[in-house]
Structure 1
Amino acid sequence: MAMDKDIVHPGVKSVGWALVQASRLHRSRTGDKLSELGLFAGQEQVLQALASSGPMTMGDLAAILRVRPPTASKTVSRLSALKLVERHTEPGDARVVRVKLTKEGKRKAAAIDALWDEVETELLAGFDNKDRKRLRKLLRKAAKNLAGVTGADQTGFETDDELEDLGAEEPELAATA
C-alpha cells in the first residue's frame, strides 16, 4: 500500500501513536523470529515466565502475564501439546494446577532469551546505555500511570531505583556502536 509523501498520520506528534507504532513493529519482528522456533506471539511469555520463576500455578501465571486465567490455560494447553510444558495437579487439591517447563521447554526458553536480546539490540540501535535506561524508566512510568487509572495491577512497573532496592539486577544491555 503506497502512500503519498504529503499524507501524514494525524497522531504523528503523539507519544501514544509513536508507542503503538514501535510496539507493533517490535511485535511483528519478534513474531517473525518466534515462528522460526515454531512458536506464536504470546507463547514465549509463558516459557520465559516459567524459566525465570520456576513451576507456578495457573493463577500465578495468568497474573504475571496480565491475562485472564482461561487465556493462560489455552496457551499452556498449546504448549503442552508441543511438549514444552507439563501440568500437574497439586496433591491434596486437584483444583490447583501447577505448570513447569520440560527439558525441551527449557531449551526453547534459552533460544527465546537469545531472540529477545537480538530484537532488543535491533530496537535500540544507536541508543547509548543512558538513553536505554531513560527510555525503560519512562515506559515503566507511563505503564504504571495507565495501570493506576485503569485499576490494573501495578506490579512489574517498578522504576530502576525501586528494582535496585528489591535487589534485582540491572538487565544486560548490549551496547551498539
Structure 2
Amino acid sequence: MKVKGGPAWAPESVPTFWINHASRLIMRHFEEQLRPLGFGMAYLPVIIALEENGPLLQRDLLERAHVEQPTMAALLGRMERDGLIVRAPDPVDGRARRVSLTAKAKARLPAVMSAMQRVVERAMSGVSERERAALMATLRRVVENLDDPSAG
C-alpha cells in the first residue's frame, strides 16, 4: 500500500500486524470453545477472581478483575442472567453487593480450563519451549513499553 506522499506501507512487514492477527485468531478460537459451555472470554477475569478469592464485594471485584465500573455492571448482569453468579446484599454493609459463583459456574470450570488449554496447545503446536520463552519475554516487553505512561 502506498500512502500519499510517503513510503509504501506493508503491514505484514511489522511485528505488530502479526501480534494483532494472532490475538484476534486466538480470541476467536477461545470464544468458539467457550460458547457451548455458556462462557465468554469477557467473563474470565470475574470467574478467576471469584474462584481464587471466594465471594467478593462488587467494589473489590472491580480491582481484582481489572474491569471498569460500567463494564463490570453490564458484565455481572449478563453473568447473572446466564446463571454463573449471584449477587446478594453484604451482611455487614447492606448497601454493598457480594458476588459469588454459582454451582453451575463451578461445575463448568474444569471444562472451561480444558477448552482453553486445547486452544493454547493448538496455537503453540510446533513451537519449542525455548521459542515459547523468547516469545513470552518479547511480548512482556511490548506490553511494558505500551503500558509505561512516561514513554512517548
Please report the TM-score for the alignment, with normalisation by the length of structure 2. 0.81
Q: Answer yes or no: is the 8 Å Cα contact 2:43–2:79 preserved in 1.
A: yes
After TM superposition, where is structure 1 displaced by more than 6 Å over at least 4 residues in a row? Answer: none
Report the equivalent of 1:167: none
- Contact kept, 8 Å, 1:58 with 1:69, in 2: the verdict is no
Work out the CA distance in 1 between the residues paired with 2:150 and 2:36. 36
CA spacing shift, 1:60–1:38, aligned 2, 3 Å: same
- Structure 1: distance between partners of 2:146 and 2:95: 33
CA distance in 2, matches of 1:22, 1:130: 19
- Residue identity (%): 26
5 Å matches for 1:91-106? 91-106=91-106
Question: Whole-Å Cα distance in 2 between the matches of residues 73 and 100 of structure 1?
Answer: 14
Does the CA contact (< 8 Å) of 2:89 and 2:97 recur in 1? Answer: yes
Partner SS for 1:83: coil
**TM superposition shift of 1:150:** 8.0
Cα RMSD (Å): 2.2
Q: Where is the helix percentage greater, Structure 1 or Structure 2?
A: 2
2:73 paired residue number: 73
**Gap runs ≥5 in structure 2:** 1-8
Higher relative contact order (CA 8 A, sep 6+): 2
- Match of residue 142 from structure 2: 142
TM-score (norm 1): 0.70
Q: Report 1:19-58 matches (<5 A).
A: 19-58=19-58
Q: Distance in 2 between matches of 1:150 and 1:85?
A: 39
SS at match of 2:13: coil
Paired position in structure 1 for 2:121: 121
How far apart in 1 are the matches of 2:144 and 2:96?
30
**Are the aligned partners of 1:44 and 1:112 in contact in 2 as well (CA < 8 Å)?**
no
Which has the greater radius of gyration? 2
Q: Distance in 1 between matches of 2:12 and 2:63?
A: 33
Q: Relative to structure 2, which stretch is displaced further, 15-24 or 130-139? A: 130-139
- Structure 1 CA distance, aligned partners of 2:40 and 2:57? 22
Stretch deviating more after TM superposition (70-79 or 38-47): 38-47
Q: Secondary structure at the residue paired with 2:12?
A: coil
- Count residues in correspondence: 143
Show structure 1 runs of 5+ residues with no match: 1-8, 152-177
